[in-house]
Structures are given as structure tokens and as C-alpha cells.
Chain A
């Protein structure tokens, strides 16, 4: 009998220990063997929770940056409307030249404001630079850039070999487009020169843009026009850095030196949003907004009423284009707002499912504990009653 009693006591004490553990942890499954299937499902559910948590953080991270960009676009729209108003007032045929000059100066200030908005940054990231987001995407354009490498004693030559994989980029303020030259094995400066000439013919760069070896032995890239400005960058070791020649800056001309890459951020299992809109997409490609403003300034400075009228039309078209480009971006912001609500709900759903998988209702757990305590007491009482009972007790 004693082994039976011992076994019964061990079992009841184990049940009591299990009940205490459930109450203290609020978990029905404290180790894998308690419920292998639930444990395995919990692995998947916890992974889903972690993913949803991260989507929520992604929304919180991206949304303010997009809202900052949207605010900047709003300011640009306001500025363009202001430029149209100014231009319209300056188009009058009775307007004096001096007054037109004054209006041109005001439109120039509007352009400066637009550039400032286009160079908006958020936490160190330039929001309109594409993925080249560590430097301002819009820079003042100059007619001529020269290389740091090359000298009279050691001039560069057309036959100078370029490093395979090096990239030289020319951004044109007038056309609003960029030419990117990536050197292949065996390419020389002559290859780059030919590419630039070809880009000019195609309209990517202003007509007449060339690359030559100047008297100082340096590579000079220029528009050969006082009205057309460019910005040049290169990581080619043979050229060194490309720098604008002093006093060649073109007034009211700005080139886009960012890129056209868009970063997508995943905020749902099947939902990614474009987290940025590039300066080229917004302000230079398709409709050249910067160029339109520059053109209006030029027309006000030296043009006729007809010229001003044409420039105003260009600015109006630019305003329309900006509005259209803004729509998908604003839709992205709206999607993020909606997604935030959905993810919050999803978090609750997953948490509820996890509780159902491995959790225990505290009221049930407390009842189980109470029952286990009663059962244990009953076993101990029964043992105390039964064990001392032998015949010897009755033989006096």
C-alpha cells in the first residue's frame, strides 16, 4: 500500500506544482512538451507579431519624412502661383522696363525659395535627391567645369585611359536632364568627349556642350553659352574632382545632381510605399519647373510682352505638372495613415491569438489551483488515516 500512497502523493504534488506555475506565469504552455503543436504555432505567430511591429515602426519612421516633403511641395506650389501672378503683372505692355526689372528680381527670389524647398532635408536626408540623399540635389549651374587633374607640364589627353566603372555625370539646368557616363574597359577621354557630343545632339545637354583639353592641360566641360549652365561630378581618378570655373555661374540657373532612384519601404505583407519623390521627377524631367522660372526671369529682364506671356504659360504648365506628380505621393501618405490603423488592429488580433494558443484564463487557473490544493490535502489526509492502520494497533 505504501508505494501506492507515495505515488498518489507525488502525483498530487506535481499537479499542485503545475497549477501554481500556471497561475504565476498565466501560461498554459510553459515548455514545448506541454503542447508541442501550440508551441510550433507560437513560433509562427511570434514571427508575425515581430513583422507587424516592424511595419508599424516603418510607418512611423517614413511618414514624417514624407509629410515634410509634402509640405515642401505645397510651398513650391504656392511659390509657382506667386510667380504666375508676378509674371502676369509684368506682361502688361504698358509696364516700364525698370518695373519689369523689379518684378524679375521678385521672381528670382521666388526661384531661390523654390530651390530652398527643393533642397529640404529631414534628419540629415535630402528628401528630393533620390537615393543620392546626402548632399543637396539642386546646385547653382555654371557654364564651365574643369578637372583637378592635368597641368601644362603633364596635360591630359584624349588618349588618357579612364578607369573601368568610373562615373561622370553632367546635369543641365536648361534641359533639366542629366547625362551619366560609366567608363568601360579601354575607354579614354575621347570616349567621354564623344558621349558628351552625342548627348548634346540628342538634347539631353544644351546644344554646343563639349569637353576639351584646355590650355592648362585640364579637361574642360562647358556649354559654350553664357545662358546655359551645368553641374558636373566625377569619381574618375584620371580627372580628379570637377570644379566650376570661377565667375562662370549662370544667374538663376540650377541643375539637379541627385538621381532618379526611389526607395520603397515595406509597411505590410503586400504593401510597399515609395518613400520619396525625386527632384528630377518633380521639378526637372517632363516639365522643367526650374527652367520655366528661369525663363520667366529672363523674359522679364529683357523680353517682350509676348515672350513674358509664353514664359507664364510655361510656369503654368509647370504648376500643373507639379500638381500631378504630387497626387501619387499624397496617396502614399494616405495609405500610410490607413495602414497605421490596420496594423494596430492586427497587433491586437495576433496578441489575442497567442493568448488563446498558450495562455490560460486566470480565473480558470485560480480554480485549478484551488482544486489541486484540495486534492493534495485529501491525499495527505487519506495517507495519514490509512498508513497507521495495522492489526498490531488492535492487538493489546
Chain B
């Protein structure tokens, strides 16, 4: 074995150790970089050589760098991110709506009770103008409470509608970026190289996309193919397919694919899915209950009014106006009467009679067309809002915990451990030092060999 061979082997060692140190340095530098996958040096034993009958080792060769990835974990994290984002989008809206139906301050339930109390109070002195005015004031407060609740819901719905447009815009930006990376990734893999930084960037973009909408990722020869919903393509190779939004007949933004097909109902997770779910299902459900209560309540009160006579001896007129259809009743309900004398408290036309007030107070305990009393109908609404919020909160908490666990697993596989890199640093440093010592030794041997047969050697 020649010294040159040994020198080459030592130099290879130096290069390998140097390369390994470089990647360790890179890992440490990116320890806190989001989405960074740690890389390891791939060291391979060099091809052995033969010197006569003696086989000599080929030293070590730095083949390259390998990212430590777990595709399954990556997919699970994407899916859990979709679920968490969807839950959080719903939770955010419901938490904004919840205070409208609180039972501790003025709300619809309290104002309904106040109206019935004022009517009952009027029965003790039905010609009292003060008591009559109290009924009108209570009625107006109740109408305002309905209006406010409806406004809160529709305002939230409008905000979510804007969010849909923003989410679609963000999705389109991300898919463009992903499509731009696909050719780079394809080329790297075609030459047998690790995806490395490009793959990291791709994974981060896909994760951001997962937070926005449901995604399904498939590895193909042209890179990653990404679809959403029920297979709507977003990225294929170097091409991205932009989603669009268009106003529907109900005034809400619909999401369309690149061909103009409506895919709104197929988007069920991610922020976009959660936003659509809340905008199109959750809020309308609450609004329908609210509108139904407002409409049936106003109708029942007006019917009771019509059975009696006001202070002028005239037949009672409507106390409330409300839309003829259930939809929009909560926003449109208003107190029609402003003259206290028009409250139909009398059953016989005399101003002192309170005989019709029993019909008005009976509305409180009589089932509406919905099959529930006004109080029970409102309690149902309160329960629905509370339980939906509670359920989504639980889902958000569960997905957050699950995502934390998955990220922990991911970190343990692909994350940078400073302790581990510190140990690698020492190991590669020692390898380098050892290889350098070998070079130094060989250098000495060269010097001795060169000086053989000379006077100095003598």
C-alpha cells in the first residue's frame, strides 16, 4: 500500500468529516426554522482496491445528504391541521355570537319576561297611563333585542362571506407557489438527489394550504398533485388551477373551480370549510329559529290584542309589525303602537276593564305554532348556541392536543435536536482531527522517505 493511497484515504476522511460538519452546522443553524427537516450525511465506504493479494479499504465517501422525513406523519399533520383550522374558524364565529344570548344581562328572554310583567302590572290598574307606557317601552325593548340579535348574526355572516373570498385568494397564491416548486423538485429527484430545502418549502406551503382547505396530496412523476374537496385539482405538475368566487342568488360568495363548477358544498375542512359551514349552515339555523320565534310571538300578541278594546273603546290593533314571511322577522319586528291608550286591555269596551289583558299574558304560557311556549322556544335556541359552541370548542381542543402530539413525533423524527447535533459535532470534529493527524503522519513519512539515501538521512 502506497503512502499516496493512504493520503487519499485520509483526505477522503477529511472531506467526509468536513461535509458532515457542514450539514451538522446547517442543522444547528436551522434548529428553529419552521418546516426544516434535519439532514444527515450519507457516508459510504469507498470501493476497495487490491495490491497484489492484499485488499485495501477504499476509505469513506460522502455520498450526499439525506433529509429525515416521515411521509405518513406529514400526511397526518396535514389532516389534523385541516380539522383544527376548521374547528377554530367555527369557534371564532360562535364565540362572537354567544354573548347575544347570555342569560345574565338584557337579552330576548329577559325582555320577553319584562313585557309580560308589564302587562300583568297593567292589569291592576288598566287605565293607568304610566302602566300603559311601561308596556309600550317593554315591547319596544323586546323588538330591539330581536333586531340586535338578528343584526349580530347577519353581520357575522357577512364577515364570514368576506373571509371566503380572502381564503380563496390565499389558496390561489399558495397553489401558484407550489406549482413553481414542482419542476425543481422533479429535477432533483430525477438526478437521484434528496428533495432537501425545496421539499421543505413545498411541505410548508402544503401545510399552509391545509390550514385553509382540505387537501389530498399525491406523489407523481411530475411532483406533487394536490386536489381539494371531491377531487378538484389545485396543482398538477407545474400548473396551478385557481379557484374563483362568485355571488350566489342568496348573496353569498360561492367557490368555483377553474371550469366554473360550484364546489362550495364539497369544502368541509380547513378555515375555508369551517367558514362555509358556519356561514351557510350554523348561522342560518340559528337565524331561522330566531325569526320563527319573532314571527310567531308577534302574531300571537297581535291576535290577543285583536280580542279586546283600547281605552277609546275601539277594537285592538296590532302591537307589533313583522314581516309576512318568517325569514327576516327578527330584523323587521317593530312596535307599531306609540299611543299607550291603544293597548287593548278592555274586554267590554270600558276604559277600566282589564278583561283582555289575561289574553295577552296567556301568550307567555300558550304554545306557539312551533309547539313550544315563547320561553321554551328561546331556551331551545340558547341551548343550541351553547351546545354548538361547546362541541366545536371540544373539537378545537382535541385537535390541538392531537396536533401537538403529532408535531412532537415529527420533531423527534425530523426535528433538530441540539443535543444530538452537539454530539455529532464532537464526533465529526474528532473524525476530522483524526484524519488530519493521519495526513500529518503521512506527511512525516513522506519527508522521511524523501530524505532516504541522503547525507541528512545518514
Which A residues lie at the B interface, using CB under 8 A?
A: 3-4, 7, 27, 30-37, 39-44, 46-47, 50-51, 53-55, 57-58, 61-62, 123, 125, 129-134, 259, 261, 263-266, 272, 275, 358, 390-392, 395
Contacts and interface: CB of A to CB of B under 8 A. Distances in A.
21 contacts: A3-B407, A27-B104, A31-B98, A32-B390, A36-B387, A36-B389, A37-B383, A39-B383, A46-B110, A47-B364, A47-B375, A50-B116, A51-B364, A53-B117, A54-B117, A130-B352, A131-B126, A264-B358, A265-B124, A390-B419, A391-B419
Contact of B350 (A125, A131, A275): A131
Given A31-B98, A32-B382, A44-B376, A39 B103 contact: yes
Given A58-B120, A390-B418, A4 B404 contact: yes
B361 interface: yes
Given A3-B408, A263-B352, A62 B422 contact: no
Given A4-B404, A32-B386, A134-B127, A43 B103 contact: yes
Contacts of A50: 110, 113-114, 116-117
Contact of A266 (B361, B418, B422): B361
Contact of B379 (A40, A53, A62, A266): A40
A391 B418 CA distance: 8
A131 B346 CA distance: 9
Q: Could you say which of B110, B117, B407, B426 has the most chain A C-beta atoms within 10 Å of its C-beta?
A: B117
Contacts of B113: 46-47, 50-51
B428 interface: no
A43 B379 contact: yes
Contacts of A35: 386
Contacts of B94: 33
B103 A134 contact: no
B430 interface: no
Contacts of A129: 352
A119 B36 CA distance: 96
B347 to A, nearest CB: 8
B121 A390 contact: no
Nearest to A38: B386
Nearest to A27: B104
Contacts of B355: 131, 261, 263-264
Given A31-B99, A129-B352, A131-B346, A39 B376 contact: no
A131 B99 contact: no
Contacts of A61: 121, 124-125
A38 B419 CA distance: 51
Contacts of A132: 350, 352
A62 B98 CA distance: 41
A35 B383 CA distance: 9
Nearest to B418: A390
Contacts of B423: 391
B234 interface: no
A182 to B, nearest CB: 10
Contacts, number: 161
A62 B124 CA distance: 6
Contacts of B407: 3
Contact of B422 (A32, A133, A134, A390): A390
A264 B124 CA distance: 8
A395 B364 CA distance: 78
B8 interface: no
Interface of B: 94-95, 98-99, 101-104, 109-110, 112-114, 116-117, 120-121, 123-127, 346-348, 350-355, 358, 361, 364, 375-376, 378-380, 382-383, 385-387, 389-390, 393, 400-401, 404, 407-408, 411, 418-419, 422-423, 426
B140 to A, nearest CB: 18
A133 B352 contact: yes
Contacts of B400: 7
Given A31-B98, A125-B125, A44 B348 contact: no
Contacts of B408: 3-4
Given A41-B379, A44-B375, A259 B350 contact: yes
Contact of B112 (A4, A47, A130, A272): A47
A36 B101 CA distance: 11
Contact of B390 (A3, A33, A55): A33
Ranked 6 nearest A-B pairs via Cβ? A36-B386, A32-B386, A50-B113, A40-B383, A131-B353, A33-B389
A57 B383 contact: no
Contact of A36 (B114, B358, B390): B390
Contacts of A57: 121
B352 A275 contact: no
Residue from the set B125, B393, B423 with the largest chain A CB neighbour count within 10 Å: B125
A18 B393 CA distance: 15
A46 B124 CA distance: 23
Nearest to A44: B379
Given A32-B389, A391-B423, 17 more contacts: A3-B408, A31-B386, A32-B98, A33-B98, A40-B379, A40-B380, A54-B121, A58-B120, A131-B126, A134-B352, A261-B347, A261-B350, A263-B352, A266-B120, A358-B103, A392-B422, A395-B426
A264 B354 contact: yes
A139 B456 CA distance: 157
Q: Which of B99, B354, B401, B418 counts the most chain A CB atoms within 10 A?
A: B354
Contacts of B383: 36-37, 39-40
A134 B386 contact: no
A346 to B, nearest CB: 15
Contacts of B121: 54, 57-58, 61
B322 to A, nearest CB: 22
A266 B375 contact: no
A194 to B, nearest CB: 24
Contacts of A130: 350, 352
Contacts of A53: 117
B123 A263 contact: yes
A50 B347 CA distance: 26
A58 B123 contact: yes
A387 to B, nearest CB: 11
Nearest to A54: B117
B376 A54 contact: no
Contacts of B401: 7
Contacts of B102: 31-32
Given A39-B383, A41-B379, A51 B116 contact: yes
Given A58-B120, A392-B418, A395-B422, A47 B390 contact: no
